[in-house]
Amino acid sequence: MTKKTWIMILFTGLMLPACSQHKSAKNRVSPVKIHVSKTEEEWKKQLTPQQFYVLREKGTERAFSGKYWNNHESGIYVCAACQLPLFKSETKFESGTGWPSFYQPISDTVLLVGSDSSYGMVRDEIVCSRCGGHLGHVFPDGPKPTGLRYCMNSVSLKFEKKN
């Protein structure tokens, strides 16, 4: 294995203790709230293969590989699948995880929270309330004022720069 692979294995192992379930999640996933419904083939035509893997198959991109983890421009982050505004750049912070992290969504209605027990841990999964696309996870180790860290996949987002 390469040095980079060993570092990623070590990093993942160190992050597992921080992956506890967030107890105060408000908006649990409900199929009733999803407003955009497309077939798997329609999503495959609209999204890149990596976007499809993350947004529709609940995958994840490698840490430090996404285009927004180190973005410091002013603007808003929208869902890459349906363009629902999700986060303001002012709520983005440096989490050190290699994924774009935010402490607060634009509103309480844009994200839904569900349980994810993949990879041997229980986490709170975050999906877009409009299309149901997998965005990432939320953890209770973020900065004030919320104490939350919305850890998102860059590929699930699109950045709209402020003019």
Closest CA to 138 of 124, 128, 127: 124
Q: How many CB atoms lie within 10 A of CB 134?
A: 23
- Give the pLDDT mean for 23-32: 44
**What's the whole-model pTM score?**
0.79
Range ranked top by mean pLDDT from 38-42, 121-125, 153-157:
153-157
User: Which tens digit of pLDDT belongs to each residue from 103-152?
Assistant: 999 999 999 999 888 888 889 999 999 999 999 999 999 999 999 999 99
Q: Nearest 5 degrees, angle CA 140-CA 7-CA 2?
A: 150
Burial code (b: 16+ CB inside 10 Å, e: under 16) for 55-90 equals bbeebbbebeebebbebeeeebbbbbbbebebbbbe
Active site residue 151: yes
Contacts (Cβ under 8 Å, ≥6 apart) of 31 = 132
Question: Does the pLDDT value for residue 23 go beyond 90?
Answer: no
pLDDT of residue 107: 95
The kind and range of the H/E element at 44 are helix 40-46
Residue 2 pLDDT > 80, yes or no?
A: no
pLDDT at 33: 55
Q: In this structure, what are the phi and psi dihedrals at residue 19, rounded to the nearest 5 degrees? A: -95, 45
Q: What is the mean pLDDT of the chain?
A: 84
| pLDDT for residue 37 | 82
